[in-house]
Amino acid sequence: MTYTVSSSEKLRKSGAEAETKALLYLMNFYSNSQDIHYFVIDFFNDLTGMNRTAKKLWDLQSKGAKNSSPKSIGKELVTLFKNYISEIDFDAYILFLGGVTESFRIDASKTSFGIENIKDNALKKLKEGLIEECKDKTYILDEQITDEMICEFISHVTFVIDEREPTEYVKSIIKMHPHLIPEDTILEAIFNEIRDKQSSKKNINTVEGITIEATEEALDYCRHLTNNEIRLLTLQRILNWDILGRGIPASFVEIYNKFPAEQRQDKLNECQADCCRALFNNSRADGFWRFFEKIYSLIIKYPEGGVTDIYRKIDDEILEGCPDLDVHSFKYFISIVKEGIQK
């Protein structure tokens, strides 16, 4: 297998925002979200989801315009088509759209659909736009642009219409725990930071024209973010605390000082590592956020309560839902939350 990078590009702010919405869509709303670990940026396409082993890929092209016509939508499909006819077998081809004209959908209430929900005349215009754009690209050969291939490709595309605000995408990271949701200004700041990190990946190096022989080689160019990075960033902004780099929360010092002097740093490192494992454990994500919500509400209710007092008020069922944490790392995390809330 070989794959040559082509059509990589730098985006305007509106395009960058659409790509960040698309990333958070893949991370939290897409049917295969649990399988996606890497988000590869402007390499195969605007955005490509990839599992941990880099064997499964979900290809996505985004368009931020709010009122795209069928023909312009067809033109936007060109990079997805390029990948469809490549030697890589992508698991999905997704076109993420900021909006469409009324002439496009049969059922306007559907925001994720295939060609079965596209009006006949709109589908005709879409194909025209795609064929025109394919003929204009040097990386697609004329003999590859056949009616059969175009129709086959379009039948594999999922069209997603974005109807959410940036704040809603950030809320989705925190799952179903409303007590943890900060005010909109913080949510917007988190979204903007994710957007800026995503955009900065385009400036690391030039990949246009690079040829790879296996999909995992795309990761060698470091133009990706991970599910874990985004979760950690979100949690740290909510708490206003760097879990890995800020040392000892004040309310944990008493416990820390009880450790034998020669074991203190190791114990602190273990607590930090446990917290990261808990945060990054996809299969136990709901249990972690339930624990977070519980300690958050307890600290608000008992602001003068010590770390151990808060720990003892947590139901065993909630503690058992976080198997990556032990007594000390539970208390360390409670200390971090307490520090963040009381600043």
Domain identity same for 164 and 262 = no
Rounded to whole angstroms, the Cα distance separating 37 from 312 reads 35
Domain identity same for 12 and 37 = yes
Tokens 């759209």 correspond to what residue?
A: 97
Determine the pLDDT at residue 77.
97
What percentage of residues in the chain have a pLDDT greater than 70? 94
Residue 35 forms part of a structural domain? yes
Q: Which carries the bigger pLDDT value, residue 239 or residue 121? A: 121
Residue 238 forms part of a structural domain? no
Look at residue 168 and tell me whether its pLDDT is greater than 90: yes
Determine the pLDDT at residue 173.
85
As for how many domains the chain has, the answer is 2
Residue 237 forms part of a structural domain? no
Q: Of 208, 232, 256, which closes a domain?
A: 232
Domain identity same for 101 and 181 = yes
pLDDT in tens, 177-203: 566 677 889 899 999 999 999 999 988
Domain identity same for 123 and 206 = yes
Residues with Cβ within 8 Å of 203's Cβ and at least 6 positions away in sequence, in order, are none
Q: CB-based burial of residue 197 (10 Å sphere; 0-12 exposed, 13-18 middle, 19+ buried)?
A: middle
Q: Of 198, 232, 266, which closes a domain?
A: 232
Q: Which residues constitute the domain of residue 24? A: 3-232
Cβ(238)–Cβ(182) under 8 Å? yes
**CA quadruple 168, 170, 171, 176: dihedral sign:** positive
- What is the mean pLDDT of the segment spanning 117-126? 98
pLDDT band of 110, cuts 50, 70, 90: very high
Rounded to whole angstroms, the Cα distance separating 28 from 23 reads 9
pLDDT band of 276, cuts 50, 70, 90: confident
Rounded to whole angstroms, the Cα distance separating 183 from 205 reads 36
Residue 55 forms part of a structural domain? yes
Residue 149 amino acid letter:
M
Q: Of 209, 232, 255, which closes a domain?
A: 232
Look at residue 343 and tell me whether its pLDDT is greater than 70: no
Coil/strand/helix, residue 114: coil
CA atoms within 13 A on the CB side of 224: 23
Tokens 């995503």 correspond to what residue?
A: 198
Look at residue 24 and tell me whether its pLDDT is greater than 60: yes
Look at residue 208 and tell me whether its pLDDT is greater than 50: yes
Domain identity same for 205 and 313 = no
Ramachandran region, residue 42 (left: φ > 0; alpha: ψ -120 to 50; beta: rest): left
- What is the mean pLDDT of the segment spanning 161-190? 84
Domain identity same for 301 and 190 = no
Domain identity same for 226 and 265 = no
Would you give the distance in Å from CA 262 to the centre of its chain?
Answer: 40
Domain identity same for 54 and 189 = yes
Rounded to whole angstroms, the Cα distance separating 287 from 298 reads 17
Q: H or E element: which one contains 3?
A: strand 3-4
What percentage of residues in the chain have a pLDDT greater than 90? 73
Determine the pLDDT at residue 12.
46
Look at residue 10 and tell me whether its pLDDT is greater than 90: no
- Mean pLDDT is lowest, of 21-25, 47-51, 69-73, 175-179, for 175-179
E-strand ranges in 36-150 read 38-41, 47-50, 57-63, 92-97, 112-113
Look at residue 233 and tell me whether its pLDDT is greater than 60: yes
Look at residue 245 and tell me whether its pLDDT is greater than 90: no
pLDDT band of 268, cuts 50, 70, 90: very high
Domain identity same for 271 and 155 = no
Look at residue 37 and tell me whether its pLDDT is greater than 90: yes
Residue 96 forms part of a structural domain? yes
Cβ(117)–Cβ(106) under 8 Å? yes
Mean of all residue pLDDT scores within the chain:
91
Domain identity same for 123 and 217 = yes
Q: CA 33 → CA 48, 51, 94, 276, 297, distances in Å? A: 12, 10, 13, 20, 29
Coil/strand/helix, residue 157: strand
Q: Which carries the bigger pLDDT value, residue 159 or residue 205? A: 159
Residues with Cβ within 8 Å of 80's Cβ and at least 6 positions away in sequence, in order, are 45, 59, 61, 93, 94, 95, 153, 157
Domain identity same for 303 and 173 = no
Domain identity same for 55 and 130 = yes
- Other beta carbons within 10 angstroms of residue 309's beta carbon come to 12
